[in-house]
A and B are shown apart, each in its own frame.
Chain A
Amino acid sequence: MKNTSTLGLFLAVIITLSVVSCNTSDPVFDAPVPGKMQLLFDNVAGSADLKLNASTYQNAAGESFTVTKFNYFISNLRLRKEDGSEYVVPQNSSYFLIEEEKPASQTITLNNVPAGKYTGLTFLIGVDSLRSMADVSQRTGALDPGTNNGMYWDWNSGYIFMKLEGISAVAPAAQNNTFFYHIGGFGRSTVKINNLRTVTLSFRNDVVNVQMDATPALRITTDALKIFNGPTQLSIAQHPSVMFDTFSTNVANNYVQMFSYDRVQAN
């Protein structure tokens, strides 16, 4: 008898716990079921689509070039709601490497986005200092310092935030006419440069509605020409190779302007 009542009590506790622990997915007790949002990064060069090893583009300095590689990190995403509040994408799901040579990498899906109406987006170009210094087991996938397609500096611990490489007749013959822009530096300890940049985009007059059964897809245009044409006019002839040096902050200040919101497409 005593045994049975103990078990009965135990069962009651379990059932209570079950209701409490699962209530995030229980529409009766909580907010509406979360949905998803997709971000499609469309890399372009001015008015033309960006094509690796193919099309020739021209920067504001009048230099013609082709692009052989274009990669960048997007992280720490925050979605702004109509009421001004923000949804912060959880840290572990908030690092993305967009690579022009890998079309699948250009679509990122944010899961578990609270249902609601969204009007804007904020993200970091690069990888924040905390994650950059985190234990190596916390840095897998695109953040794996050993296998992330050359987006890590092993001699000066840190991620390359943006990598643009190409060929131009004005680049030095000694470099085989290639140019390199590898921009990184998260400003650890006494390091002088910090190239982390924050981008905030408004969805203009669009109100993006996330629901359980509606996954809106936002197109974001990334204009690689802005890497050259910005507050500092970047000339390939003058700067055929910019990596970890003080000039790199000028390039970061240019590319912070390369993103723009294009449109939303309902799925």
Chain B
Amino acid sequence: MNTLRTISTKRIWLTVSVFLFGLAVACQSSKEPDPVVPPDPGPPGGGIEYKPTPVTLRKPANFPDVIYNISQNPLTVEGVALGKSLFYDAQLSRDSTVSCGFCHQQFAGFGHSDHALSHGIGGKFGSRNVPGLQNLAWEREFFWDGGVTSLDELPLTPIQNPVEMDLKFSEALSRVQKSPKYPAMFKSAFDSDTVTTARFLKAISQFLLTLVSADSRYDKYVRKEAGGDLTTDELAGLALFQQKCSTCHATDLFTDRSYRNNGLPVGAINDQGRYVITLNEADRLKFKVPSLRNVERTFPYMHDGRFTTLEQVVDHYRSGVKDSPTLDPALKVNGQPGIALTDIEKRQVIAFLKTLTDNTFINNRDFSAN
């Protein structure tokens, strides 16, 4: 009796499964193919198992809320490794000489040390200073003029720029697809060995998102951690900074992510900055306020790298600010352009800025080329 019931139960379950399967097939056939978002063919991936290991995006306690939508691109060990491999791969430039890491050097806070203007393929130069890469999950817009609105789209620009890596993006995808090592890496990161724009870009984003700099002496000081001792001069510099600089270099990201004209005399390049993106007269000569983290390492300074030392930078704010219709109001207190600082105060502010150097970040082997 028991055996009989078991058999009949099994038969019923079988019938149910067959019915459900038929139902799924029947319902599917009424769906129309989508011309814009074609279904992923998901080819078999050469025996690689898709078992990604999740990675948690580090969110330091002293940082504001993250902007990047991590739910659209959850970090995994495999995705980060793939992104890092792409970041350091010179194949992504036309003549295979320039990788992302060529201009974004870890020891320089992922800026290009001692290069005022970006230096790309064939000895060509761009018109702006290479921005450092750090804490990108907290950025809303990218580049000095904020022209790019998503971290995921950022790599399209340097790869295709004729004076940077000068490679058509479709060619970059095709080189990666044909490479012996990448299809397996895509399979383990995204469960498909097909290299698509979205997967390629999101892998690089994953690596970039791990570049969190939050272990400087200043960070340890504000988080009351060991090693967070500041000298008298540095503390005085911090107080001056909070009083005179933190309107723009706000929060522990040291930028309010706005675009401002900081009174630099217009250079020969005549870069109009944010105006090029918005076409608003009010945005002429405005550039994104850069973070000051690792600023000791990211010289030269300003959008065109015109200053090589922090002393020159502070001197600009003390006596070099040029008035113009779009000069930032914060730099024109009481009708007088610039920020008043004595020589001692200048020294103290610079001493404080050097507490933002994050040696843990700069020496982290996880971020280095293998």
Contact = CB atoms under 8 A, between A and B. Distances in A.
Nearest to B147: A156
Contacts of B23: 14, 18, 21-22
Contacts of B27: 21-22, 25
Interface string B48-89: 000000000000000000000100100000000000000000
Chain A CB within 10 Å — which of B38, B173, B197 has the most?
A: B197
Interface in B22-44: 23, 26-27, 30, 32-38
B352 to A, nearest CB: 33
- In this complex, the interface size class of chain B, counting residues with CB under 8 Å from chain A, is 35 or more
Given A136-B152, A141-B35, A192-B278, A146 B69 contact: no
A207 interface: no
A191 B146 CA distance: 11
Contacts of B8: 4
B223 to A, nearest CB: 33
A111 B8 CA distance: 44
Contact of B153 (A21, A92, A136, A147): A136
A192 B280 contact: yes
A112 interface: yes
A141 B197 CA distance: 10
A199 to B, nearest CB: 19
A137 interface: yes
A246 B279 CA distance: 7
Contact of B35 (A93, A155, A192): A93
Interface string B320-339: 00000000000000000000
Interface in B121-165: 143, 147-150, 152-153, 156-157, 160-161
A145 B197 CA distance: 8
B37 A92 contact: yes
B277 A138 contact: no
Interface stretch (B12-20, B243-251, B311-319): B12-20
Contacts of A3: 5, 9
B5 A140 contact: no
Contacts of B69: 135
Contacts of B9: 3-4, 7
Contact of B197 (A7, A18, A147, A190): A147
A154 B153 contact: yes
Nearest to B6: A3
Contacts of A188: 149
B32 A136 contact: no
B170 interface: yes
A48 interface: no
Nearest to A75: B36
A244 B279 CA distance: 9
B147 A96 contact: no
Contacts of B34: 92-93
In order of increasing CB-CB distance, the 6 nearest A-B pairs are A111-B32, A146-B169, A146-B197, A154-B156, A137-B198, A25-B30
29 contacts: A3-B9, A11-B12, A21-B23, A21-B27, A24-B30, A94-B36, A111-B32, A133-B150, A135-B72, A135-B152, A136-B197, A136-B198, A136-B201, A138-B37, A141-B35, A146-B169, A146-B170, A147-B170, A147-B197, A155-B143, A155-B157, A156-B277, A157-B147, A157-B148, A157-B153, A188-B149, A189-B278, A192-B279, A192-B280
